[in-house]
Structure 1
Amino acid sequence: MSVAYKSTGKSTGAFAPLRQPVFAVLWAATVLGNTGSFMRDVASSWLMTDLSGSPAAVAMVQAAATLPIFLLAIPAGVLTDILDRRKLLIFIQLLLASVSLALVVLSANGLMSVEWLIGLTFVGGIGAALMGPTWQAIVPELVQKPDVKNAIALNSLGINIARSIGPAAGGMLLASFGAALTYGADVATYGFVIAALLWWKRPKTEASDLKESFSGAFRAGMRYVKASRELHRVLMRAAIFFAFASSVWALLPLVAKTLLKGDAAFYGLLLGAVGAGAIGGALLLPRLRQRLNADGLMLMAAIVTALAMTVLAASPPKVVAVIILLFMGAAWIIALTTLNGTAQSVLPNWVRGRALAVYLTVFNGAMTAGSLGWGAVAQVTNVATTLLIAAAGLFLAGLIFHRFKLPVGEADLTPSVHWPEPVRLEAADHDRGPVLILIDYKIRREDRPAFLAALKELSFERLRDGAYSWGVSEDSDDAERITEWFMVESWAEHLRQHQRVSKADADLQAGVLRFHTGPNRPVVRHLLALS
């Protein structure tokens, strides 16, 4: 099977975003905060093996962490787009600090139980659900546009620097001083993150009478996702990859304890190896991008991850396990960064938080379902067999779904502001609707097939940017008169639609207008419902 190659383009440099002080400070703070989170996670995962040796119970910790993200990421994305992102992040950090503080108290007093551990892990997952789309959505605010993709890669690098340090440090603290001190170290890291957020003076956005409500923003975001064919391909590829790859994350505590006969410190070392491998993968990624396109990178990541899982299933020597997890960490970060960067590249800023939340929902839904499913398989078979089944599935899925190409994501999605403001003889209530927009074209018979094909492409733009229904009709008295129509839920939503149309969408519209043969531009009419 051949792997497509990708042409190189001008790059600002992998570390260029760190020259911008706000990004650099927040990046460093998040590395520290994530280090604490990984220390907490390794303590919780290993503590569960002491509270219950059941594979299903151990996998439940992973599921409890990811299930809230699956359930709440989309509402969190809506909040990201309509609230002050800086204040929202500060609230989330306080919530997560409270969770870790509760873990400290329970561990120190010998009150920890399976129920408490899973419950607090679930609350921590709620904080992660709120934080995920918000952190990702602020990236374009912190760096210039040419640096956005490198900033995304640096965020992934930062997470894996934390992954390489946090689990190893957490494992050593856990083995030497117990769970309470490990959780306490996590609490301390949140203070640094909150301080960095308070230092960041986020520019205030101008108040607008078109500000979206939660319900309206939710519906607009879901309409966009439903109509975005490019995002659909990213979501499908993410769901397939992470559903199979989740097996090794869910079962790694048992791999360390039963297959490799290690202790808590060794488990932390394994997670640290994954993080170290991810750092290497992130540093190697710019060179790989010069040779492989996004689809080639995803295929490579699937094959390497499947091979790593196969080796782990064979109960290799501990040194070999650490080495193989270095490669798996590199493959993991390559897949994660490729999918995340592709998703970011196909999203306009107005819906970024909501659409990224859908991506995170798919990611964490696949991780949650996979963790529960692979835990159940291990319960009735064994850990080694489960890893082999998952590895075979990931390998085959990587080959099969390589045919469904990821989008290139090079369109200019900045607002074009080329639609003229609709003229109203009298002011219309913003909540009034629905609104029917009619656009009359004059099209020669011989141009009709090409015109309708171009109009079909434009229809996805209408549906992404606010329309909930779209169609095209011909005049029974004049076969050359064709009317495009679409419906928007309110007058305010149509005004927002004017602000959302991108420069890439303007090019689509120009492709449609070149078929119009009338003496003037097509006539546009706005019909508002009377009741």
Structure 2
Amino acid sequence: MNAAKSSGGSFAPLRQPVFAVLWAATVLGNTGSFMRDVASAWLMTDLSASPAAVAMVQAAGTLPIFLLAIPAGVLTDILDRRRFLIVVQLLLASVSITLMALSYTGMLSVSALIGLTFLGGIGAALMGPTWQAIVPELVPRQDVKSAVALNSLGINIARSIGPAAGGLLLAAFGAAFTYGADVASYFVVIAALIWWPRAKNANDELAEGFFGAFRAGLRYTRASRPLHVVLLRAAIFFAFASAVWALLPLVARQLLGGDAGFYGILLGAVGAGAIGGALVMPKLREHLDADGLLLGSAIVAAVVMGALSLAPPQWLAVVILLFLGAAWITALTTLNGAAQAVLPNWVRGRGLAVYLTVFNGAMTAGSLGWGAVGEVAGVSGTLLIGAVGLLVAAVAMHRLKLPAGDTDLVPSNHWPEPLVAEPVAHDRGPVLILIEYNVEKHHRSAFLHALDGLSQERRRDGAYGWGVTEDSADPQKIVEWFMVESWAEHLRQHKRVSNADADVQGKVLAYHSGTERPVVRHFLTINRPGKA
């Protein structure tokens, strides 16, 4: 059996006690969060009938993730993840405790609700990348993919139960009781995290600091063209699809004549549809590639938005939202999978944080934008406009294909250790690296074309400057140069180069003439006395 495959099927990770406990606690915690969100969204319709105000709740929850996802990804890599998660859970619990107290005393206002929703969004922003990052610690390597799939399933289980339960509790016992149930769920998660017997982080002499890791993540994102495609496709899709999420409370109340319980049932239908979509997706993948799945998701979502704009009967709206859930999970999984496939392990958390930033930025901007459109065009008109826009954008963007994600991103470790006359301090820099090639004239054009591909690799793995020069006395002698900010960062480069990068370098080396490999030199900045 291939070691890369799961050792026991899709549910094998649940045989690991720590994963099973944390997974169950996470499902319960997410269920509580969805209950809180239902209560907050419905309370806002009591406090204000304005579409812009209702959409502001959605924006307040997603804006912090847009602003803080990348710093959260960095913190995930440099802090103790268990303690970090416990602190975040305490923050979220305090938010819900405050909401419970204000709603119980009747002192909850529009501004307070939006402000506390924003604080809850901060907690979600800090927690998201960390939950994803701990998965490899909880299961054997061959079960990681199954564990990730189970996490997605758990979220959709919570999405199917939480909104419906929240709506029922809200209708039966009021907002304060609903918020109290959310508080209890956080303490269950905290208890599970305290129980987790996590090993202490090993000391790493090349461990990154916050700002260095932050810059490295941004450099990689800026230089990764495949990731750019994923981010653009995600931004376009979610900006248009966010219309239905921003206005769904008003759809339930104004168009469909429902109460808080019915709103919860609508959200539960979305969650149930997502579970169904996750179950049929393997069959869909046998017939459609990633681009086909994303186009199909956009078409289904647009049809759902158009149908809701016609104010269908309540039972039909529930059925329609099952299809929205299936389309939503298909798009989420397809885009997230494409992002995962183009990210090497060393920058995966930060790269996914950038993806989350784009996702939530699109949702935030879309929510605010569709709320403003709703003030002019009304709820039905806004849904129809969003549906048409989503269809047009999906067809147009279908030509920009998602990356296949079939490159080998495992570290190759083929770079030799740099030669040094004496030990070099890790914080010394900047560092200039020169690689001297000897290229015959008739190979020059092909060599430079291959070198362009190598430049992207240098920048992704840590270089902040790159260039190529020739010797004026001997044009066959071509020097590639790049700069990194410190000696430690260059040593990290050695560990980041992947097998796919090694293949690109092999194409460049094929044009180097001579029996010896290209000469590589490392130049360190000299700090002269009295100079800044």
**Counterpart contact for 1:474–1:481, Cα < 8 Å:** yes
For 1:460, the equivalent position in structure 2 comes to 456
**Counterpart contact for 1:467–1:486, Cα < 8 Å:** yes
For 1:326, the equivalent position in structure 2 comes to 322
- AA paired with 1:188? A
Shift of 1:144: 4.2
The normalised TM-score by structure 1 is 0.96
SS, match of residue 83 in structure 2: helix
SS, match of residue 286 in structure 2: helix
Query: % of aligned pairs identical?
Result: 73
1:221-240 equivalences under 5 Å are: 221-240=217-236
Are 2:285 and 1:289 equivalent residues in the alignment?
Answer: yes
Question: How big is the alpha-carbon RMSD for the aligned residues of Structure 1 and Structure 2?
Answer: 1.6
Shift of 1:450: 2.2
Shift of 1:145: 4.4
Are 2:490 and 1:488 equivalent residues in the alignment?
Answer: no
- AA paired with 1:152? V
For 1:336, the equivalent position in structure 2 comes to 332
2:396 corresponds to which of 394, 400, 404: 400
Are 2:422 and 1:426 equivalent residues in the alignment?
Answer: yes
**Counterpart contact for 1:256–1:263, Cα < 8 Å:** yes
For 2:526, the equivalent position in structure 1 comes to 530
How far, CA to CA, are the matches of 1:150 and 1:453 in structure 2? 40
The normalised TM-score by structure 2 is 0.95
> Any idea what the Cα deviations from partners look like across 1:407-437, whole Å, max 9, x if unmatched?
1222222222221111211222222211110
1:5-404 equivalences under 5 Å are: 13-404=9-400
Are 2:501 and 1:505 equivalent residues in the alignment?
Answer: yes
How far, CA to CA, are the matches of 1:443 and 1:202 in structure 2? 53
Distance 1:76 1:244, change over 3 A: same
Worse-matched range after superposition: 14-23 or 172-181 = 14-23
**Counterpart contact for 1:153–1:282, Cα < 8 Å:** no
> Any idea what the Cα deviations from partners look like across 1:127-149, whole Å, max 9, x if unmatched?
01101111122233334445444
SS, match of residue 441 in structure 1: strand
SS, match of residue 91 in structure 1: helix
> Any idea what the Cα deviations from partners look like across 1:229-249, whole Å, max 9, x if unmatched?
111111001100000011100
Question: Unaligned 5+ residue runs, structure 1?
Answer: 1-8
How far, CA to CA, are the matches of 2:438 and 2:160 in structure 1? 63
**Counterpart contact for 2:458–2:482, Cα < 8 Å:** yes
- AA paired with 1:367? M
- AA paired with 2:481? W
Question: Unaligned 5+ residue runs, structure 2?
Answer: 528-532
**Counterpart contact for 2:6–2:12, Cα < 8 Å:** no
**Counterpart contact for 1:35–1:163, Cα < 8 Å:** yes
Distance 1:298 1:431, change over 3 A: same
Worse-matched range after superposition: 229-238 or 494-503 = 494-503
**Counterpart contact for 2:5–2:143, Cα < 8 Å:** no
For 2:530, the equivalent position in structure 1 comes to none
> Any idea what the Cα deviations from partners look like across 1:48-105, whole Å, max 9, x if unmatched?
1001111111111001101111111111111112212222111111111111111111
- AA paired with 1:486? F
> Any idea what the Cα deviations from partners look like across 1:257-303, whole Å, max 9, x if unmatched?
00000000000000000000000001111111122111111001000
Shift of 1:116: 1.1
- AA paired with 1:161? I
Worse-matched range after superposition: 157-166 or 196-205 = 196-205
**Counterpart contact for 1:81–1:350, Cα < 8 Å:** no
Shift of 1:349: 1.8
How far, CA to CA, are the matches of 2:401 and 2:191 in structure 1? 42
Shift of 1:348: 1.5
- AA paired with 2:46? D
- AA paired with 1:390? G
How far, CA to CA, are the matches of 2:83 and 2:127 in structure 1? 11
**Counterpart contact for 1:81–1:351, Cα < 8 Å:** no
How far, CA to CA, are the matches of 1:198 and 1:495 in structure 2? 36
How far, CA to CA, are the matches of 1:154 and 1:382 in structure 2? 39
SS, match of residue 211 in structure 1: coil
How far, CA to CA, are the matches of 1:512 and 1:201 in structure 2? 48
SS, match of residue 475 in structure 2: strand
How far, CA to CA, are the matches of 1:194 and 1:17 in structure 2? 21
**Counterpart contact for 1:313–1:387, Cα < 8 Å:** yes
Shift of 1:46: 0.2
How far, CA to CA, are the matches of 1:50 and 1:178 in structure 2? 13
**Counterpart contact for 2:5–2:142, Cα < 8 Å:** no
- AA paired with 2:130? T
Worse-matched range after superposition: 518-527 or 318-327 = 518-527
- Count how many residue pairs are aligned between Structure 1 and Structure 2: 523
How far, CA to CA, are the matches of 2:105 and 2:85 in structure 1? 31
How far, CA to CA, are the matches of 1:10 and 1:86 in structure 2? 28
How far, CA to CA, are the matches of 1:145 and 1:226 in structure 2? 29
